[in-house]
Amino acid sequence: MALNWNIEVIIDFITAIFGIILTIITYYSPKAKKIKSLFFIRLGFILFWVFILTDGFSFLFLNKILGLLSGLFIIPATLFIIIGLNYTMKENIYSYGLIIVIGLSSLLIYSGFQPGAVYIEFQSGYLRMAWGGLFGILGMVLTAIAMLYLFYWGIRTWINAPFLIKREALIFFLGILTIFPFGFLFYLLYIFEPIFILICDISIAIGALIISLVVIREPKILYILPFTIYRIAVKSKEGVPLYYHDWSESILNETIFTGFLNAVQLMSEEVMNIGGLLDVNLEEGILILKESKSITVGLVSSKSSKLLRDSVVKFTADFERKFERELKKSITDPSQYEDAFELIEKYFSNFPYKIIESKKQPLLLTGRYLRIPLELENKLRKIFTDEEDYESIKAELIKSPLSFTSEFIRLHDELKDEMKQISNEDFKLLDED
């Protein structure tokens, strides 16, 4: 049997094999391994590469059944991509788009078995397998929906990305743009000239490569949309705050948060018991509470999620293990628990920080770390004998122009001297009362 080798077959095979290898690599990327949404998206992409591979085989063997089969592979590919993207955007697989795709998929299956759905044609100098009628249109519509979804995901991710991963989000979006509209444009042109499918395939492969590399490198991209986590706080059984960490400006201020944690801790003892986990619905978010033998951990986020609950449980267990000695000795100095930052990195590293909104946002060094020459510091300490006064002045100092401290000391000395002189003079100008 003579094989129908042509440029379209070769490009199909190269794209499909490249895509499959790329997708398999993402399975072994440690950072992206356990991400549920990525599992669906990867599955969708694998099926998409299988569709291209089957398409190539149908051309190679000029086999109508393989041609039909390749068309049908679009269904699970589109479904899984949409499910994955829904999950990424809202931690839920359902959407109206999914229902529409399911409906269109049924029609595609029906139309695939109609006469003329798949036929052989001679075009661009070689024999090729073509889809006709409703089957061809629906195949294209389903692909377009999957690509549109990708585009929507990309643009939302880019817009909402915190500045620290904005660059990655932009590259990610550029990858998606290579697929849609760039790749899709050539897919449309393919209706008129089949050779354009080659450019479409290559665009999709390049786009997929960019997306995969960004996701492997920065999986936080996948957690921009589902929810925002604000703060985690750890308290001892006695209610003493031991550690906290912020990802975003909290919806609760610190006092309310701690007070609330205390109240809930007291109220929920019976409900939670030891080792229990509790979700408390707040007006603008949710508080996930985890009670263990010696600590209570509270995490505030915009939504509850299984992933977050699991992370809180694991964080709590590791915190207790890591600081066992400190907790046994009932040490309440928060500085002793600063290393818990490592646990944050371990269990919450995929959640993006949103505290700093822009790389141009002005920052200040807090007084504690501001270097003041010793001589100047001594002078300031003499003037501000009250520690609270001194700290508040130091806080102002970091915002003041550089020369201000020495100017202030000169002014202070001058006014003090003047006050002494005036008190000895017989001049009543100041006795206005």
Partner 1 sequence: MKTEIIRKTVGLDHPTVRKVIEIAENLMEKNIVLNIETLCNVAKKELKIPRKGLLFIIHYLIDKKVLIEGSKFSKDTVLLNRFRKKIYKFILSNPGVHFSYLRKKSISGKNISSGKLIWHLGMLIKFNYVKKVKVGNYSILLPFKMEETLGKLYFLMRDPIIYEILKLMIKKKLLIKSEIYKEVNEKREIVYYRINNLMDYEILIANPESEKQLIINPNVKKFLSKILKSSKLKKE
Task: Give the interface with partner 1 as residue ranges (CB under 8 A).
Answer: 163-164, 245-246, 338-339, 341-342, 345, 353, 355-356, 359-366, 368-371, 383-386, 389, 393, 396, 398-402, 404, 407-408, 411-412, 414-416, 418-419, 421-422, 425, 428-430, 432
Which residue, 2 or 364, is less far from partner 1 as judged by CB?
A: 364
Nearest CA-CA partner of 330 in 418, 236, 230, 263: 236
Q: How far is CA 348 from CA 161, 282, 353, 384, in A?
A: 17, 22, 10, 43
Which residue, 274 or 365, is less far from partner 1 as judged by CB?
A: 365
Least distance (Å) between residue 335 CB and partner 1: 9
Which residue, 324 or 338, is less far from partner 1 as judged by CB?
A: 338
Do 206 and 177 touch, CB atoms closer than 8 A? no
Nearest CA-CA partner of 220 in 345, 81, 67: 345
Give the DSSP letter string of 187-221: HHHTTT-TTHHHHHHHHHHHHHHHHHHHHHH-GGG
- Half-sphere CA count of 241, side-chain side, radius 13 A: 14
Least distance (Å) between residue 15 CB and partner 1: 31
Least distance (Å) between residue 416 CB and partner 1: 8
Which residue, 114 or 392, is less far from partner 1 as judged by CB?
A: 392
Which residue, 255 or 385, is less far from partner 1 as judged by CB?
A: 385
Q: Which two tokens stand for residue 46?
A: 């694998």
Least distance (Å) between residue 320 CB and partner 1: 20
Residue 51 has φ and ψ, to the nearest 5°, of -60, -45
Q: How far apart are CA 231 and CA 248, in angstroms?
A: 7
Which residue, 206 or 398, is less far from partner 1 as judged by CB?
A: 398
Least distance (Å) between residue 420 CB and partner 1: 11
Q: What residues contact residue 188 under an 8 Å CB cut-off, 6+ apart?
A: 140
Least distance (Å) between residue 424 CB and partner 1: 11
126, β-bridge pairs: 123
Buried b / exposed e along 51-62 (16+ C-beta atoms within 10 A):
bbbbbbbbbbbb
Least distance (Å) between residue 39 CB and partner 1: 25
Which residue, 254 or 279, is less far from partner 1 as judged by CB?
A: 254
If you ran DSSP here, which 8-state letter would residue 183 be given?
I
Which residue, 30 or 115, is less far from partner 1 as judged by CB?
A: 30
Least distance (Å) between residue 428 CB and partner 1: 6
- Half-sphere CA count of 151, side-chain side, radius 13 A: 15
Least distance (Å) between residue 25 CB and partner 1: 20
Q: How far is CA 120 from CA 63, 113, 132, 257, 309, in A?
A: 9, 16, 10, 69, 55
Which residue, 39 or 348, is less far from partner 1 as judged by CB?
A: 348
Q: Which two tokens stand for residue 263?
A: 């109240």
